[in-house]
Structures are given as structure tokens and as C-alpha cells.
Structure 1
Amino acid sequence: MSQDSFRMFKLAAQGFCCTQIMMLMALEDEGKDDNPDLIRAMQGLCGGMGRSGGTCGALTGGASIIGLAAGKGNAMEQVHPKLGRMIAELLDWFDETYASRDCEDIIQTKLGEGDAYPVKCGSIVSATYYKVREIMAKYIVKEEEEED
């Protein structure tokens, strides 16, 4: 088991869902402090938004991580010029990889309010997290290096 897989497993065992796990890992990887308000807000996207089975929480979590890195956070900031392109690339990859954006279609399980997440969710969260990091490295890190 890779270190990231172990981190995800530990967070899931603590009761965090897909979107929360992704954001907690992103904050940690970026060296940012814990942000309980943000993590609580991410829970609304779990299980396809409120466990409705709609848009996969790994996908919305990934878009949220990109937004955290490249979105506008206050009146003085500017949106990264390639924010839309980064999210479009994530969407294209997700569509090609899973053939659906809907949680219940992908995991082939009907989610209820208190149900546990299927094991399949772990691999989806992991793959999506790595894709998000790859996309961000391509557009954000690369451009920062070019500016130096």
C-alpha cells in the first residue's frame, strides 16, 4: 500500500468522505493549515452531492482542489487564466475513464443516508487525486517555473 493510499484509508476510517479526503490531502500536500470550515463544506459534495448519487464526489472534490489553487479568493486576487482549461481537462479525463459523472452509475450501488462507501470509491478517489495533481503541475507549477 502506497503512503497516499494509507493516508486515504486512515482518513476514511476516521469518517471522512471522498471529497473531504481529497481536500484534506491537498491542504496537507500544500503545507496549509487545517481548515475545518472548508472540510465541513466539502461534506455537502459527498456521495454525489448529499449522498444523492449525482455528480461523483471525487470529481467535485478534484474541481474544488483546482479552484482552491487557482480560483479567486478575495478582491485583490485574480483567477488563474487557465482555471477553466484545468477543470475541462479533469472533466474530459473523468468522462473517458469512468464513462459517467454520476456516483451511482460509476460504483453501481444505490447510496442511502447511512450506507458505507464501497471499496471501489477508494480507487476512484486515488486516481482522481493523482490526475488533479498532474493537471495542476502542468499548468500552475510549470508557469511559475517559466516566470522565474
Structure 2
Amino acid sequence: MDQTLMRMLELDYNGYYCSQILMIMVLEAQGKQNPDLISALGGLANGSGFSGGFCGCLTGAACLLALFAGKGSDDEYEDERLMHMTRDLEGWFEKTFGSRFGGVTCQAIVGDRSEVRQRCGSVVAETYHKVLEILAASGYDITAGRPGRENG
């Protein structure tokens, strides 16, 4: 088991949801913490507010892409590639997990919840690696954060 998966398991054990785990992993790669952001991402848990809707891992991963490529202040512009990056993520997620579990909602992925840890762990790990791939292909370094922003 690699260090990334070990850290994800530790975060899960400590009660974080999939969307939060993804963001914590990226922030830690930058040497940052942001409890307010992590709390806010809890709203995506279990299908957006525990409704069983779109998987929080998918929506959390989209937030990760926007962390790097989205507009964050008056003097920033959204990277014009963000929409394409998000569509790439969504297409991959649908193809990978939609076909495996019969949909991309939390309800479809976790089913009767008997295998929730195994299923969600796999979804989070695979999605994290896909987000890193998409960011790298667009020239983003997760350890550096958004170009032009203070790293701290």
C-alpha cells in the first residue's frame, strides 16, 4: 500500500468525507491547511448534502480543478481550460464508475452500503490520481498551487 492510500485511509478513519479527503491531500502537498474550506466541502458528502445525489468525490474533484484554474479574486481570471478539464474529469468518471456501478450518484456507487468503504476508497484513490493527471496535463503543479497566488 502506498503512502497516498495510507493517508487517505487515515483521513477516512478520522471522519472526513471523500470530497474533504481530496482537498486535504492537495493542500498538504502545498504545505497548507484550510479548515474553513474543508468544512465547506463536507456539504458535498454522500451525494451533495446526504441526498444520495452526484457523488461527492466527483463534485469535490471538480472543486480541486477549480482551486487551480478558477477565479479566486477580482484580479484573477478563470483559466479558459477549466471547462474542458472538468468535462474530461466528468467523462472519465462516468466511463469508469458509471459503468462499474450503474451511475455516478452516491446512491448508485454505495448501493446497499455493505461495501461502502471498499467502493468509496477505490473511487477516491482513482479520482485523486485522475485529477493529478488532468492538472499536470494543463501545466499545474499541485505542490506549487495556483500560479500568482501567495503560497501560504
Tell me the TM-score normalized by structure 2.
Answer: 0.85
Give the CA deviation at 1:32.
4.3
Contact 2:47-2:54 at 8 Å conserved across structures: yes
Match runs of 1:1-148 below 5 Å: 1-29=1-29, 31-99=30-98, 100-109=103-112, 117-141=116-140
Q: For the Cα contact (< 8 Å) 2:68–2:140, is it kept in 1? A: no
Q: Describe the superposition over 1:23-78 as per-residue Cα deviations: whole angstroms up to 9, x where unpaired.
A: 0001112x142001000000000111112111001101100000001100000001
Q: Shift of the alpha carbon at 1:118?
A: 3.0
Structure 1: how far apart are the matches of 2:40 and 2:139? 25
Distance 1:124 1:46 in 2: 14
Shift of 1:16: 0.6
CA distance in 2, matches of 1:132, 1:78: 21
* Structure 1: gaps (5+ residues): 111-115, 143-148
For 1:146, the equivalent position in structure 2 comes to none
Instruction: Kindly report structure 1 stretches of 4+ aligned residues shifted beyond 2 Å.
Output: 116-119
Identity of aligned residues (%): 42
Q: CA RMSD, aligned part only?
A: 1.8
Gaps of 5+ in 2: 142-152
Q: Which secondary structure state, in structure 1, belongs to the residue aligned with residue 6 of structure 2?
A: helix
TM-score norm. by structure 1 comes to 0.87
